[in-house]
């Protein structure tokens, strides 16, 4: 079996190697062609050397093609795996820190809210360029497997405007499934779980064990769980009020709705600081910086660690490798993917991206018709979908009016800011992120003129948010990792 895969954003430190380990754990894939590409040659080289060493250690005769020329990487590829973060950490910092000046306190800021909307403007502009290259040089009918956030917005734009079949992949529902199994005291493999909704706002609409529906037991189980009752306060409150558990983490979910982060003195009541994912201000930005600093400093130690094993024992649960395995070998796989709705969930817009159970085999990816979501769940999703739609159309057309309307309609942004503040905040973010926003050249020039005139709305410059935690040193991160390794052993 021979075909080519290309990984764009292959310098993404830990994640690219994790995905590659999953792919190489499929025996039939030991003679495929592999290309890694990234705009950061140093990270690309480091990840390539690690993965090549893993290949050699497992006696797999593949030589990775590493190149900063993405068209060369895409040439002849059947699958393009996308993990890019357009703008990298500098832009991510702006996505978090500028909204904070206006009182918009995000935990992550990469899917919805002000940060996610602006991230979408950057990533869509560049991913449409990827699509152009894929159509020109990749294998006809090539599929893009997209991990980049904002996942729904990017997947929507690539399918509608890029002309490339794009499947959005996420692992939020996988983590929630493990929680549900723990709460119910039933092994995960014995549960039949169905999720439906939109990325990062998907709902566990059915949880069955041997044909018996158990979803109504979840609230009592989560409230009684010693750890989850402290870590998942937002998710439990949503479960209490809407009747369904949401797939996304406490921190993520808290920034997608209007109710939990709009009053700084109340944010701490809804989050937990044991882990960033539970809701701390700028939590994902902090750990991303820590991971980058650790990787850059500790690379020699990482390179000295034992190579990855490709015998299946270190294969993870990310959907990517299983989709390719099913399409190529015919082995069946069921997973929750992000796809164009087109009537799958009947009370969400026909044109949007939904996250639903899909079935894969040698005939392709099959998508069931699920019918209506519970009405309250559909209402929550619908509000986010309109933000996504405005943001997608704004990014494609470079339409600053639609961009500002997207921010105005965002639940948390609208709960915290009035319209003049939102207009000024988006102007400030356009100016700060100009190098990654070629479609907004005229709007940025006009925003600069407005800022040059002065008479601006006062902001909380230097505000760090309601629950900002100190960034850990490389030494502290290394000590934590060593402790986890010893505990695992």
Tell me which residues are annotated as active site: 171, 256
Of the candidates 126, 123, 37, the residue with the CA atom closest to the CA atom of residue 81: 37
CA distances to 62, 236, 276 from 29, in Å: 10, 42, 36
- Is the preceding omega at residue 164 within 30 degrees of 0, hence cis? no
DSSP H stretches of helix in 339-440: 375-397, 400-409, 411-416, 419-432
DSSP symbol at 160:
I
Angle at 106 between CA 16 and CA 425, to 5 degrees: 110
Residue 196 near residue 347, CB atoms below 8 Å: no
d(CA 45, CA 201) in angstroms, rounded, equals: 36
Backbone angles phi, psi at 365, to 5 degrees: -105, 120
Classify strands 333-340 and 353-361 as parallel, antiparallel or unpaired: antiparallel
d(CA 285, CA 254) in angstroms, rounded, equals: 16
Helix (H, G, I), strand (E, B) or coil at 56: helix
Give me 180's structure tokens: 């549900």
Residue 234 near residue 253, CB atoms below 8 Å: yes
Residue 10 near residue 36, CB atoms below 8 Å: yes
Burial of residue 3 (CB within 10 Å: 0-12, 13-18, 19+) is middle
The answer for residues whose C-beta is within 8 angstroms of residue 63's C-beta and 6 or more apart is: 52
If phi > 0 it is left, if psi is from -120 to 50 it is alpha, else beta; for residue 371 that is: left
Q: Which residue has the tokens 């921190």?
A: 251
Q: How many CB atoms lie within 10 A of CB 264?
A: 16
Classify strands 143-146 and 165-168 as parallel, antiparallel or unpaired: parallel
Give me 307's structure tokens: 């190579």
Of the candidates 339, 326, 328, 3, the residue with the CA atom closest to the CA atom of residue 139: 3
Residue 33 near residue 3, CB atoms below 8 Å: yes
Burial of residue 265 (CB within 10 Å: 0-12, 13-18, 19+) is exposed
Beta partners for 144? 80, 166
d(CA 323, CA 349) in angstroms, rounded, equals: 26
């Amino acid at each position: 079996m021979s075909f080519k895969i290309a990984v764009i954003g292959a310098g993404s430190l830990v994640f690219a190697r994790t995905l590659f380990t999953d792919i190489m754990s499929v025996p039939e894939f030991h003679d495929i062609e592999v290309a890694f590409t990234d705009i950061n040659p140093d990270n690309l080289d480091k990840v390539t050397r690690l993965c090549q060493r893993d290949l050699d250690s497992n006696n797999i005769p593949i030589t990775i093609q590493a190149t900063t020329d993405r068209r060369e990487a895409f040439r002849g590829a059947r699958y393009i795996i996308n993990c890019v973060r357009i703008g990298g950490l500098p832009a991510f910092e702006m996505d978090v820190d500028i909204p904070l000046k206006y009182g918009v306190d995000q935990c992550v800021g990469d899917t919805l809210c002000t940060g996610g909307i602006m991230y979408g403007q950057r990533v869509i502009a560049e991913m449409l360029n990827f699509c152009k290259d894929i159509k020109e040089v990749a294998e006809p009918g090539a599929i893009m497997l997209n991990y980049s956030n904002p996942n729904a917005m990017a997947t929507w734009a690539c399918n509608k405007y890029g002309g490339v079949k794009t499947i959005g992949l996420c692992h939020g529902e996988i983590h929630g499934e493990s929680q549900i199994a723990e709460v119910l005291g039933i092994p995960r493999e014995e549960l039949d779980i169905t999720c439906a909704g939109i990325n990062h706002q998907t709902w566990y609409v059915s949880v069955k064990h041997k044909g018996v529906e158990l979803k109504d037991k979840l609230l009592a189980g989560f409230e009684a769980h010693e750890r989850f009752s402290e870590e998942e306060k937002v998710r439990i409150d949503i479960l209490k009020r809407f009747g369904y558990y949401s797939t996304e983490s406490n921190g993520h979910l808290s920034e997608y709705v209007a109710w939990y982060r709009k009053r700084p003195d109340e944010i701490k009541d809804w989050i937990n600081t044991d882990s960033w994912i539970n809701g701390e201000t700028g939590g994902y930005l902090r750990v991303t910086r820590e991971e980058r600093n650790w990787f850059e400093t500790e690379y020699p130690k990482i390179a000295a660690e034992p190579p990855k094993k490709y015998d299946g024992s270190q294969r993870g649960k990310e959907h990517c490798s299983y989709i390719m395995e099913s399409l190529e070998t015919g082995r069946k796989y069921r997973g929750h993917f992000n796809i164009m709705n087109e009537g799958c969930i009947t009370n969400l817009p026909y044109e949007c991206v939904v996250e639903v159970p899909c079935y894969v085999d040698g005939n392709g990816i099959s998508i069931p018709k699920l019918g209506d979501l519970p009405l309250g769940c559909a209402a929550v999703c619908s509000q986010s979908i309109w933000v996504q739609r405005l943001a997608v159309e704004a990014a494609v057309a470079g339409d600053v009016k639609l961009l500002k309307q997207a921010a105005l309609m965002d639940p948390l942004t609208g709960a915290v800011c009035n319209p003049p503040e939102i207009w000024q905040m988006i102007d400030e973010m356009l100016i700060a992120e100009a190098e990654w926003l070629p479609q907004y050249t005229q709007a940025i020039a006009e925003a600069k003129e407005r800022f040059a005139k002065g008479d601006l709305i006062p902001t909380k410059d230097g505000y760090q948010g309601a629950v900002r935690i100190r960034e850990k040193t490389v030494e502290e991160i290394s000590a934590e990792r060593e402790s986890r390794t010893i505990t695992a052993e």
